Structure 1
Amino acid sequence: MLLQPLRWRTDLPMLLKHVKRRDSVAKRLSRLFLLLLCSFPVMSWAQPPLWSPEKADAVLISVPDNVITADDEATATKSPLVRAKAALARFSETTDPRYLGDAQRALLTVSPEKQNVEFFLYRASMYQSLHQFDEASTDLQAALNEEPANRQAQLMQFNIAFVQGDYAHADRACKKLSASADLYAASCEAHLRAASGQAGPKEAKAAFTDLKRSLASRLLGESLQAQHWTVSTLADIAERATMYAEAEAMWRLAMTMQANDLYARDRLCELQLIRGNIQSALKVSEGFEKLDALAVCRATALKASGDAELLLADLTQRFNEAQWRGELLHKRAYAQYLLLMPNQEQNALSMAKRNWQNQRELPDERLLSAASNKVHGEQP
């Protein structure tokens, strides 16, 4: 099965199935006890004697069922690649960077002689999610050295180059994909056609029409993953062509095809803001406040109605904690958040520029333009 790479989804490295949860019960409890210990101030006086429960079955602390499950312990006994796959899938579902740490720890236990194509693809996906694109590219090349026709590696090569705005490298990767006349090849060709420097709305509309025709003619012969990828490409192209109704329809279709597509949900939420559909943006983001990008989108919609105070306070705490942990992966979402805060325009512009150094998708271009205009009217 062809695994799908990140389309830039800080939140979606692969289409993976039957995912197990991540840590053992012992590891979870050890972290919890360490956190409890660190939360107490250091006292200068003598500590009381250790307390021991009178009964062996005494309950020391209760942990909610959704925190520790039987699957955690089972996952811990699996092979490193299975654990890495599970962690990457959980990151895809939650965008929680701690799962990337789990994947990294699992992959570090794989000895050099056992580093096969699957290993390089998983590690490349991890690096891609961490925005370490050079390392990801090195691993993808290692995978292709062993399997020159590996479609997953070829697709990830294209995606990394495209996300960075490196259309020359993206074109070379697309030519490799075009060796097989499938929807992935048609999608990369249409995406480059719509996003290249010379392309305007007219060319983007033509690319949209041609790719939509290709999708219609290949519905029976292509996998669901390839169809989903194509629909997401059509949605992005439609936005570039300012065909907002068509873009909305395609993002909704992508979400229907893959219910946990957080990237499509985030793009749809942002599109509703662009179109001024505040209530629609609130509906799309409802229940997804734990995800940075969707929480910021929802806060933007709530601010229009003067009801964003609580969510903005939560985001402030969340981003402060992420910075303290050194886990600020979502620079786009953070810059968008700063634009919502008073007297943070310059900081928002600085973060938007930092984000632009790594990611040059359509939302990144819009963000940089909005931040520049808010500070002094500059264009990217």
Structure 2
Amino acid sequence: MKKPIYALLLLAAATAIQAAPYIPASGAQVIETLPRRGDPVQQELRRMRSELNARPNDLTLATTLATRYITLARSETDPRYLGYAQAALTPWWWLTSPPAPVRLLRATLLQSTHQFEPAMADLKAVLAADPANAQAWLTQATVQTVQGDYAGATASCAHLSTMSIELITITCIANVGTMTGRSLKSEQLLDLTLERSSNAPAGLQVWALTLLAEMAQRRGAADIAEARYKRGQALNPRDSYLLGAYADFLLEQRRAGEVVALLKDQTRIDALLLRRALALQQQGNARKALAEDVKELAARFDAAAQRGDTVHQREQARFELMLRHDPAGALALARKNWAVQKEPADIRIYLESAAQARDAGAAKPVLDWIALHHTEDVAATRLVRQLQTGT
């Protein structure tokens, strides 16, 4: 029987971005609107937290609460829930061999902050003990894809076929295919699978629709991409990964005003604040607001550097290149980021930085990667041509 694996899917499918501490300009400034105490979800969480405080070593209660927090981190665009999830797992967090449910949750949280090596160690241990753990296979496939281990990711995805519903398996496989020269076939297969999966949970549909939108965007099919982004938004207007991807699409289309509206009240996430700043810059008529966003981003990135946090390197490279106009600084960050992850956005910021720095030689690792894996992306192709011709 196929086992559904929905609870942790959203975090496995995309990495959450954590925000640095924020100091308000005055005591009168509203910095957060707290969830309503009457909200049934928050009431249930408070009840569970109270029970866990009384029984901190209750494994079932702790892992249930942590799972709820991880799900909320994405659905509510609030990375603080990831910290709450880790706190729920405190009695086991630093153990070398924690119970399997904790180990899987720990791997999920570690990969969300780009600690891929310890995350993979936990996932391999979980799978060694339980080869039928579908969530572990999916999370492992996600990490392998981000790191560019496409053969490993394909093998991990294949394990899902007997453990989960078709949409999860095909989305996993298509995510690898789009990086290895099989974009159009992967897109067609995933689109067909989604259309016959109308009863799948909304979260799974949003994941598939976002991936499909990005596929269409990378081949230059703007109308198709936008239709898919809007379908995903209709299902979950607060999905942080979808918001970021759609904002990038709108920025490409020079529709900055729509980006500002889209990201209203969503700038707790560094990546979304960055996109709003880029939209303000593109508009050109909101200098004060832009200056405030740039100052806030600089403070967040500086705080991350002081913590030794390297999760933000792709966003920081984009910040340095486009908002601070420092191609050399951006290229240094893009190079460091490339050593950790190799997604389409990583390719693009590396090539953009090298092109603006007029340093085609620095782009060789990415150019070699594109040639080896037959990467298909109209934006990357344009940047490659620019680097080759020096224009």
Please indicate the TM-score interval, normalised by the length of the shorter structure.
Answer: 0.7 to 0.9
Contact 1:155–1:177 (Cα < 8 Å) also in 2: yes
Deviation at 1:358, TM superposition (A): 1.6
1:244 aligns with: 222
Contact 1:319–1:334 (Cα < 8 Å) also in 2: yes
In 1, the alpha carbon distance for the partners of 2:17 and 2:309 equals: 14
1:271 aligns with: 249
In 1, the alpha carbon distance for the partners of 2:208 and 2:124 equals: 24
In 2, the alpha carbon distance for the partners of 1:248 and 1:108 equals: 42
Which residue, 184, 195, 219 being the options, matches 1:216?
195
1:8 aligns with 2:9: no
In 2, the alpha carbon distance for the partners of 1:11 and 1:314 equals: 15
Question: Tell me, which stretches of 5 or more residues in structure 2 are unaligned?
Answer: 24-30, 53-60, 367-391
In 2, the alpha carbon distance for the partners of 1:65 and 1:314 equals: 19
Question: Tell me, which stretches of 5 or more residues in structure 1 are unaligned?
Answer: 13-34, 36-62
Deviation at 1:324, TM superposition (A): 2.7
2:389 aligns with: none
Which residue, 17, 20, 34 being the options, matches 1:66?
34
Contact 1:116–1:143 (Cα < 8 Å) also in 2: no
1:311 aligns with: 293
In 1, the alpha carbon distance for the partners of 2:229 and 2:113 equals: 25
Deviation at 1:229, TM superposition (A): 2.7
1:344 aligns with: 326
Which residue, 186, 190, 207 being the options, matches 2:170?
186
Contact 2:17–2:269 (Cα < 8 Å) also in 1: no
1:366 aligns with: 348
Deviation at 1:283, TM superposition (A): 2.1
In 1, the alpha carbon distance for the partners of 2:36 and 2:235 equals: 30
Which residue, 270, 280, 290 being the options, matches 1:302?
280
Looking at both structures, which has the greater relative contact order when contacts are Cα pairs under 8 Å and sequence separation is at least 6?
2
Structure 2: which amino acid aligns with 1:215?
L
Q: TM-score, normalised by structure 2?
A: 0.73
Structure 2: which amino acid aligns with 1:121?
L
Deviation at 1:124, TM superposition (A): 0.7
Q: Deviations over 1:80-107 (max 9, x none)?
A: 33453355345434454x6545444442
Deviation at 1:258, TM superposition (A): 2.6
Deviation at 1:114, TM superposition (A): 9.5
Q: Which moved more, 1:156-165 or 1:253-262?
A: 253-262
1:136 aligns with: 119
Which structure 2 residues correspond to residues 1-380 of structure 1 after superposition, within 5 A? 2=5, 3=7, 4=9, 5-11=11-17, 66=34, 74=47, 75=49, 77-78=51-52, 79-89=61-71, 91-92=73-74, 93-94=76-77, 96=79, 100-110=82-92, 115-179=98-162, 182-196=166-180, 199=181, 203-220=182-199, 222-306=200-284, 307=286, 308-342=290-324, 344-378=326-360, 379=363, 380=366
Structure 2: which amino acid aligns with 1:210?
L
Name the CA shift for 1:303/1:275 in 2 (closer, same or farther; >3 Å).
same
Deviation at 1:118, TM superposition (A): 2.2
SS of residue in 1 equivalent to 2:315: helix
Task: Point out 4+ residue stretches in structure 1 off by more than 4 angstroms.
Answer: 67-74, 98-102, 111-114
Q: TM-score, normalised by structure 1?
A: 0.75
In 1, the alpha carbon distance for the partners of 2:50 and 2:309 equals: 24
Q: Which moved more, 1:163-172 or 1:325-334?
A: 325-334
Percent identical: 26
Deviation at 1:299, TM superposition (A): 0.8
SS of residue in 1 equivalent to 2:317: helix
Q: CA RMSD in A?
A: 3.1
In 2, the alpha carbon distance for the partners of 1:234 and 1:357 equals: 26
Q: Deviations over 1:29-78 (max 9, x none)?
A: xxxxxx9xxxxxxxxxxxxxxxxxxxxxxxxxxx9983997968652542
Q: Deviations over 1:147-197 (max 9, x none)?
A: 32222111111111111121111111122123356112222232322220x
Deviation at 1:372, TM superposition (A): 1.1
In 2, the alpha carbon distance for the partners of 1:246 and 1:214 equals: 17
Contact 2:212–2:228 (Cα < 8 Å) also in 1: yes
In 2, the alpha carbon distance for the partners of 1:116 and 1:140 equals: 12
Aligned residues: 324
For the pair shown, the structure with the greater C-alpha radius of gyration is: 1
Contact 1:272–1:280 (Cα < 8 Å) also in 2: yes
Q: Deviations over 1:5-51 (max 9, x none)?
A: 43232249xxxxxxxxxxxxxxxxxxxxxx9xxxxxxxxxxxxxxxx
Contact 2:257–2:283 (Cα < 8 Å) also in 1: no
Contact 1:184–1:229 (Cα < 8 Å) also in 2: no
In 2, the alpha carbon distance for the partners of 1:230 and 1:109 equals: 36
2:382 aligns with: none
**Structure 1 or 2: larger helix share?**
2
